[in-house]
Amino acid sequence: MNKQKIIDRFISYVTIDTESDPENPDFPSTEKQWNLAKLLVEELTNIGMQEVTLDDNCYVMATLPSNIDYEVPTIGFISHIDTSPDFTGANVNPQIHENYDGQDIVLNERENIVLSPSYFEDLLQYKGQTIITTDGTTLLGADDKAGITEIVSAMEYLIQHPEIKHGTIRTCFTPDEEVGKGAHKFDVEKFGAQWAYTMDGSQIGELEYENFNAAGAKVTVTGKIVHPGYAKGKMINSMTIASDFIKRLPANEVPEHTEGYEGFFHLYATEGKVEKTVLQYIVRDHDKVLFERRKNLMQEIAAEMNNELGAELIHVELKDQYYNMKEKVVPVMHIVDIAEEVMKNLGITPLIKPIRGGTDGSQLSYMGLPCPNIFAGGHNFHGRYEYVPVESMLKATEVIVGIAQKVVENFSSKNRSSY
């Protein structure tokens, strides 16, 4: 794999602003996502991919035809175009740090923004490697433009090396994953793969087939405004009531105090005045029973408080977003086994663990396309401290190529009966 080409390709993607918008019901949620989609159509065509399409919903699909004379399963690789609205993705200015020495990386001297291994210990895994960071004023966009880089680079490598045998491979780049809509208009039938992998994980070695069950919760509190000088017995301060609601949820069941399979309530936005306050939550749990309990608890707290207040002042609106893909992947665990074996063959230690989040693959698995998640290499997603080691992107690219080869090996006439 050509390291400089990986760097150049990645930078060409991250310098295009593709931030999605959770408040816009349009699809895609931002027009600027089309800019990268159109670039990818051109690039995929230029490297020799076939059946390159861009549909009305901003999904880019392409095919690498089989180069063998017998049938093996068609597989796919998927990454998303958009970047998170949690932090700005405009005017990304990537910084390249060669031969990282294990010390602090000054992202922005003027604003004293430092990426330090004393806080982000994972950095020390990458001493001696080339690390791409932000300049401290934006996110980087490795989530998931590292994944796009790896898929395009792997397809180009396979086209340039026809001696590597592979079946038909489908690729897709989706919009609006970061706002939970990435799979909503995905045409599984058109994609035509028996299974796929999202290249959307974090550190090198991650291989995931379990994710959160997820819901969004909007808590609306209604108050009453009167002049504060004459407010006794009349004013109802919605912000005070909202604060009480927050305190009644389990204090330690929040992202900053949970790990592994532990679920949480995450208050990520508030907007309030005396007359009306809105709390925006995400609710997460790997266990479906506990997930339902979490949603019920929010409704129970609201009902209890309304009873105490003597009026229906608190309204909780819940909407499920996606479910744990484990249920759909376990029956076809050989697709995980293939990725795990390829990683081991490449000297990568597989890190098989639950995703504390979701990917397009979680929804796609329930749409009939089982879809585990593989590392893309980045760290500290959704903020100014995001970074990606180039060597991790190179390894992820090799994993894609290795999976293509492994499918042919496992499903050859000699071995296919075992699957």
Active site residues: 82, 177
52, two tokens: 């390159």
Packed helices 390-410 and 142-160: angle between N→C axes, nearest 10 degrees: 50
Chain-centroid distance, C-alpha 38: 21
Cα–Cα dist 155/188, whole Å: 20
Phi and psi based region of residue 199 (left: phi greater than 0; alpha: psi -120 to 50; beta: remaining): beta
Q: Is 59 helix (H, G, I), strand (E, B) or coil?
A: coil
Pairing verdict, β 75-80 and 195-201: parallel
The answer to whether the CB of 117 falls within 8 A of the CB of 123 is yes
Cα–Cα dist 175/178, whole Å: 8
Longest CA pairwise span in the chain (Å): 86
Look up tokens 């796609």; give the residue.
Answer: 364
Question: What residues does 134 pair with on adjacent strands?
Answer: none
Cα–Cα dist 216/203, whole Å: 27
- Which phi and psi (to 5°) does residue 75 adopt? -120, 165
Cα–Cα dist 86/268, whole Å: 9
The answer to whether the CB of 279 falls within 8 A of the CB of 245 is yes
- For residue 196, count CB atoms less than 10 angstroms from its CB and return exposed for 0-12, middle for 13-18, buried for 19 or more: buried
Could you count the other beta carbons within 10 Å of the beta carbon of residue 251?
Answer: 10
Listed as own residue / partner, the contacts of 411-419 with beta carbons closer than 8 Å and 24 or more positions apart are: 411/72, 411/73, 411/167, 412/70, 412/72, 413/70, 416/72, 419/334
